[in-house]
Chain A
């Protein structure tokens, strides 16, 4: 079985400040890792994914995440946020041999001017 814990339900930050959204996972087998963003009244959009190889993954909109196997973490970072980054962010894991993904409960990022 897999589980995902997003450690912060809400993260308020000021515009142009750096941000980190934390994600820890639990799995007894190899997994793929994903971050999705959900803007109000829109569907989930893939930000970035870790499949294998380099542990630092770069995604869209200036986001990046680092896979840490020993700490079973996949934290999302952005060095300077914009108002338009305000959204719900979901971390997800997927067993490498299965179709379904397991999602965390989300982190609401609010960027203030």
Chain B
């Protein structure tokens, strides 16, 4: 079956611009996660959705970052007034319902470059 997909695969923008990154989770997965992976580092947690609501947004670095999942499926990560330090690969993952552990299925990521 189809895995987690993310669009675009690459995004180049200028400092100060607004960007949206999209994640399509595996069908039927209720949990959705966003991570950010900077060069030479492991993924860093940003936000976690259970259904439509954000269950944990403690990883969002500041109020320029916002994410939504209005219908409990597709999610959009929104970054306002982008800064060069926002350049990274943004990863999305989803988990199926009814499991006692949090096995996460990852998408290929969106590489964001802020010039």
User: Which chain A residues (23-43) contact chain B, with CB distance < 8 Å?
Assistant: 32, 34, 36, 41-43
Contact B106 A44 (CB under 8 A): yes
Contact B4 A49 (CB under 8 A): no
- Complex Cα distance A102/B31, Å? 17
Interface residues of A, CB < 8 Å — how many? 26
Contact A46 B42 (CB under 8 A): no
A-B contact count (CB 8 A): 65
A49 to chain B, nearest CB (A): 7
Contact A99 B48 (CB under 8 A): yes
Interface residues of B, CB < 8 Å — how many? 29
Contact B102 A32 (CB under 8 A): yes
Which A-B residue pairs are the 9 nearest by beta carbons?
A103-B42, A99-B48, A44-B106, A100-B45, A43-B106, A43-B108, A103-B43, A105-B42, A94-B102
Listed in ascending order, the chain B residues whose CB lies under 8 Å from chain A are 3-4, 31, 33, 35, 40-45, 48, 50, 55-56, 59, 91, 93, 95, 100-109
Listed in ascending order, the chain A residues whose CB lies under 8 Å from chain B are 4, 6, 32, 34, 36, 41-46, 49, 51, 90, 92, 94, 96, 98-106
CB<8 Å pairs between A and B, sample of 28: A4-B42, A32-B101, A32-B102, A36-B106, A42-B108, A43-B3, A43-B4, A43-B106, A43-B108, A44-B93, A46-B103, A46-B104, A46-B105, A49-B103, A51-B100, A94-B102, A98-B56, A99-B31, A99-B56, A99-B95, A100-B33, A100-B48, A100-B56, A101-B102, A101-B104, A103-B43, A105-B40, A105-B41
